[in-house]
Amino acid sequence: AFEEVVTSTGMNNVWVMGAGKARRNPEKLMVPKILRAMLSQLIHTFRYIVIDGPAPRVCLESAELAPVADAVLLVLRRKISGKRDVDETIRLIRNRGAEVLGCVLVDA
């Protein structure tokens, strides 16, 4: 049951599933087939599922999240995210068959 892996945030209808303990081979969890199976159980309970991951150029395994998502929203850091890096990240995501919904620019 999802209650075993998610925690209420105290905000109305917002739940969180943490990363848990560090694993020896975290890339095994990134296999699209395994992710799809996990998410297929959650979509019956939750209206929206947001997956947060590191930039694909920093952690290539996170690019494997893209195909299991309906869309990707990039978070860019002002003065840090260069155009070339952003273009390459979008290319990586699109090459995996995912749609880039847009970008959010943050100051941090």
**Each residue of 13-46: pLDDT tens digit?**
888 877 666 556 655 555 667 667 777 788 888 8
* Secondary structure of residue 28 in the 3-state scheme: helix
Query: What pLDDT shows up at residue 8?
Result: 83
Q: At residue 87, does pLDDT exceed 70?
A: yes
Task: Tell me the pLDDT tens digit for each residue of 48-67.
Answer: 888 777 776 666 666 777 77
Q: Where are the beta strands (DSSP E) in the chain?
A: 7-8, 15-16, 72-77, 100-106
Give the highest mean pLDDT range of 3-7, 9-13, 46-50.
Answer: 9-13
Instruction: Select from 47, 48, 61, 70 the least CA-distant residue to 92.
Output: 61
Spatial separation of the C-alpha atoms in residues 3 and 38, rounded to whole Å: 14
